[in-house]
């Protein structure tokens, strides 16, 4: 039982970080029909911005995280939208998908060239202490990661549902032509979405890098898992991405314990196949028709 609690908590903690990246997937898709296959690299990169701030500029951890956030907003938010999505989107979804795959490779190889291929230690945001719950060892870091991720996603939901700007963002995603005629600044709303995605990626990066260390290749697994989480939960629902992320985090850890560590990474893929076959709109997603 104690072991199960331990596995559940660490699964939820890891899953909540996957959820941050998965929510970014769904946001970009809804706002601009962008499937960002560089999303994993978007989570990998901010950790290196923080490390540059600390090692090159000599900044303490929190100012370095602030610097990482600003750079992420500018590069992964503004520049990504202006330089890649806007020019590519008129050519259709597929060219944009290919462009984001290329961007992912570029980011990965650039980090490898500029910062090296070895995994870099990353400062922990939470203390490494472990405490005992019903016989299970639970780390403050896991609880902290879970709480921060949930707060970020909950805050995003509140922002989208309870503010005028949030509603305008939803309107822009659901019917951009009409939103524009009603006076909504659709371009600005789409830009907000890209900025939010960059901010979520930064949070995910800062939370996950102390566990897996900062490495150029971290995005490969993260991007895939987040993509699967978004599909499993429902690509058109933020809460679907949340559920998908948590579910995959838990299944990943449970399968390592109860099935086999070797098949651990296969479990999310098996879940993905099952969902596509049985409920293609995802667990919480709604079916969407498209005119072709």
Positions touching other proteins (CB under 8 A) are 159, 161-165, 167-168, 170-171, 174-175, 178-185, 286
Taking the least distance from each CB to other proteins, the nearer of 90 and 183 is 183
CB of 51 to other proteins, least distance (A): 32
Taking the least distance from each CB to other proteins, the nearer of 33 and 260 is 33
CB of 173 to other proteins, least distance (A): 9
The residue written with tokens 């609690």 in the block is 5
Task: Report how far residue 201's alpha carbon sits from residue 166's, in angstroms, rounded to the nearest whole number.
Answer: 19
Task: Report how far residue 214's alpha carbon sits from residue 68's, in angstroms, rounded to the nearest whole number.
Answer: 13
Taking the least distance from each CB to other proteins, the nearer of 262 and 288 is 288
CB of 238 to other proteins, least distance (A): 11
CB of 242 to other proteins, least distance (A): 17
CB of 254 to other proteins, least distance (A): 33
CB of 182 to other proteins, least distance (A): 6
The residue written with tokens 């930064």 in the block is 202
CB 143 within 8 A of CB 129: no
Taking the least distance from each CB to other proteins, the nearer of 135 and 287 is 287
CB 241 within 8 A of CB 234: yes
Taking the least distance from each CB to other proteins, the nearer of 177 and 278 is 177
Structure token digits, residue 169: 């963002």
Taking the least distance from each CB to other proteins, the nearer of 95 and 287 is 287
Question: Within 13 Å and on the Cβ side, how many CA atoms surround 20?
Answer: 31
Taking the least distance from each CB to other proteins, the nearer of 170 and 265 is 170
Taking the least distance from each CB to other proteins, the nearer of 64 and 238 is 238
Angle at 8 between CA 5 and CA 12, to 5 degrees: 140
CB of 281 to other proteins, least distance (A): 13
CB of 177 to other proteins, least distance (A): 8
């Amino acid at each position: 039982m104690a072991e199960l609690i331990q596995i559940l908590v660490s699964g939820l903690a890891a899953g909540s970080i996957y959820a941050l990246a998965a929510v970014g997937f769904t946001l970009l898709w809804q706002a601009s029909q962008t499937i960002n296959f560089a999303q994993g690299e978007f989570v990998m990169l901010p950790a290196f911005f923080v490390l540059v701030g600390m090692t090159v500029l000599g900044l303490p951890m929190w100012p370095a995280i602030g610097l990482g956030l600003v750079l992420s907003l500018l590069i992964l938010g503004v520049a990504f939208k202006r330089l890649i999505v806007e020019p590519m989107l008129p050519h259709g979804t597929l060219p944009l998908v290919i462009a984001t795959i290329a961007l992912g490779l570029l980011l990965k190889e650039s980090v490898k060239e500029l910062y090296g291929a070895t995994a870099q230690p990353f400062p922990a945001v939470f203390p490494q202490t472990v405490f005992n719950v019903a016989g299970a060892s639970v780390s403050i870091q896991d609880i902290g990661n879970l709480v921060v991720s949930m707060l970020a996603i909950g805050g995003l939901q509140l922002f989208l549902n309870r503010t005028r700007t949030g509603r305008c963002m939803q309107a822009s995603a659901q019917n951009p032509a009409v939103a524009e005629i009603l006076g909504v600044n659709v371009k600005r709303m789409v830009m907000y979405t890209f900025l939010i995605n960059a901010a979520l990626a930064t949070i995910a990066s800062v939370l996950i890098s102390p566990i897996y260390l900062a490495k150029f290749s971290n995005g490969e697994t993260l991007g895939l898992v987040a993509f699967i989480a978004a599909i499993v939960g429902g690509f058109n629902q933020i809460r679907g991405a949340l559920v998908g992320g948590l579910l995959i985090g838990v299944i990943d850890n449970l399968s390592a314990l109860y099935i086999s560590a070797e098949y651990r990474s296969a479990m999310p893929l098996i879940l993905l196949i099952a969902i596509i076959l049985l409920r293609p709109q995802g667990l919480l997603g709604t079916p969407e028709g498209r005119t072709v």
